[in-house]
Structure 1
Amino acid sequence: MVDSYLIEIRLFGKAKSETRELIYQTSRDYNIRISRPVPHITLVGGFGTNDEARLIRDFESVSREYEFVRYVIEGIDTFPNAGVVYLDVQPSPELVAYRKELRDRLQGYCSLCQYDKKEPFEFHSTVAMHLNRDKAEEIKRSINHDKRYGHRMLRATLLKNGKILSEYDFCLERMLNRENVLSKQVLSETFEKCASEQKSQQVFITSDLHLGHANIIKYCNRPFKDVYDMNRALVYNWNSTVRKDDIVYFLGDLSYDRNSYTDSWLRKLNGKITFIKGNHDESNSIELLDHMIIEFDGFKFYLTHDPTNVPSSWDGWVIHGHVHNNSHDYDIQRKYPYINYDKKTVNVSVELTKYRPMKLSTIVKQMKEEKQISKKVKPEKRTENILIRIAKLVASKLKLL
């Protein structure tokens, strides 16, 4: 038997109970045979693979890059050719990006279905399936379902042959094995963490939105159709992540237009903003700082726009923007990645943070995780790898390879 895998979002709370009742009611009214329904939104699958360990690693790796993933469930529709009646799911840009990144990561070694590759992907939660066209349309017309559910994705589920293999918990920020997934205590921790985050003031940091700058799309290969699409997406990403009372450290280059434009964009953005001046910022409404030093969770951070402006005497961490990681100079790209543990720098230009503000607590957690990894690597092994890479680079330049 070939194993079958599926990645999905399982519904919680009222959406789960009311959708399950709708499925039961529909099956009774139309004599549709069903097993115990689990209301969900399929993201990828079913599919097969010969590398389950890699699948789990990639599932976790992609999921760790996302925090605030929202969607709305509203309305009834059908896939007439497939004989499916479903609740329509309106995805946020983050959910669209998350599903696409999962698909792109897996398609090299997993046998994905054709509809996994179709764009735009049609997000939905199935109510009834295996119907003929007329029956599907009849059920659609008869269902009286005017509910609307706005949700944040708490967990993503990886199934194997219909059973939970593992889940990624976006509130607890970790993978769960099957035992933890089924634990009511762990689920309670998830809900408590989510509720605590919604109540507490969060600290965010970001840089280099370049609102209104059409050419930045080309220069930095940003994934937007045009400047209007970019402006809408960046403002949406900011306001869907940051609440009005959250703290935001912005590290420069908000817009690239007339001087007065900075103030008009600031009025559109949530949060209590501290503004570090970039190359293109002027404002009559907010103080523009040259730099700032803050402490957070035991770390001292020097906040600046341009990392080359940090005093040589500074021995703490630096968080900066300015370097969009699009340089043709390999040395610059290597020197200013998202996190450079050796140099103690963090680059929060939006190209490196999925075009949204980052929680400072998330950055610190990632820094600590990298520190633990680096401790496990033997120095001589690291040196050997570096020397090999240098040798290959030199050889390729000399066209010896």
Structure 2
Amino acid sequence: MNMLNRLLKFFSYYKRDGKYPYLIEIRPMVEKYRIRRHIKTHIKSTHTGRWHKVPHITLIYNFRLKKGITDRDIAKIIQNVASKYTFVKFYYDGFEVKKGDKGYVFAFKIKASDKLKKLRRDIYNKIKPFIEERPDVIKFNDADEDKFWFHATIGYQLSEKSANILIKETQTEYEYLPAFALRITLLKKSRISWEYDVPTRKLLNRREALSRKYYAETLKAHRKILQMETFNQHPSIRGRKIWLISDTHFDHANIIKYCARPFVDIKEMNRVLLKNWNNTVKRNDIVYFLGDISFGKHSRSPRYWLSKLNGKIIYIKGNHEKTNLGKHYEIVNYKGHKFFLVHDPKDVDSFDGWIIHGHKHNNDLINYPFVNKEKRTINVSVETINYKPVSFDQIIKIIYSQKLENIETIVDIKR
């Protein structure tokens, strides 16, 4: 039996193992609701098997504690190791269906960064002297960095019929989403015992780990690390600057879930987006806004939000505008370069310059990242530009660099 089959053999029942009740996992945070929709979609198609409400990424499989060792001792080891890591990225990278001895497993593929691989290995090496592992998991916990199976199980103990349905369904469905390890969880009998918060470097007990207050602190610290908030107004610069941004979706609660935005609620999202804009843009600057300023049943009008924002705003219509506002597109010549500004890039048949657009958010980063050098497109949806306007000068500097490559989000330029 190969390693994959051995892993699948125990994976379907490991959470019910009372003799070795501990696991260490990455708990999804901002992406939780986005990835949960796949469970709701596919569980309707299959009638056998077991399903996880929220798929977690297991780092260390079943173990128990040696005599004299407490849950908090293990949690402190996790904290000491993980405190050396502040930017642990990974990707939900499509789906996989694999056959084991107890049926099929349906999971998210996880593309782990080198940093995540090293973090997992470091945690395991440090806790190993203090734990007893279930014999059949030792070879998996002790796997080399590049051989460990990173995945997030959605369904397990599935029948062959269900597996075939899922394979067919996911042939045309693809989820590609960058994410960060914000919380590293010590589980006992499938319940949170302790949790290490990566952005704040705090060790949380179960009550704190499930607290909305501490979740808000996690997101605030995460935004600070990634420079997603502009806290001070930029000093005056001679001359008028030109900025681009799209798809703020002020007042839209569900966009936080759909696009895994790092905000606890719409009040916080509105505050950060407004502050970022006005601390970046001076009153005399020009801003090309490429549509969808606000959305939702109880959202305030686009004109309300425009009155709150600095700059001379040139508005390009989005697909959610109900009022007669702005143009359908704009062609701009800037410093000898030609750009087609539009909300939806699919509305452009052909153009011999660069297309700057919104609409795609972070929902198709394979085809519409921040910069796609092959398609010559630039996605200025707020999710790709760190939730603040990006200047035309910066875009020109990026796209005409001799080392230009595809760039998923503007954060990746700095990392």
Q: TM-score range by the shorter chain?
A: 0.3 to 0.5
Using CA pairs below 8 Å that are at least 6 residues apart, which structure has the higher relative contact order?
A: 2
The TM-score with structure 1 as length reference comes to: 0.47
Name the one with the larger helix percent: 1
The TM-score with structure 2 as length reference comes to: 0.45
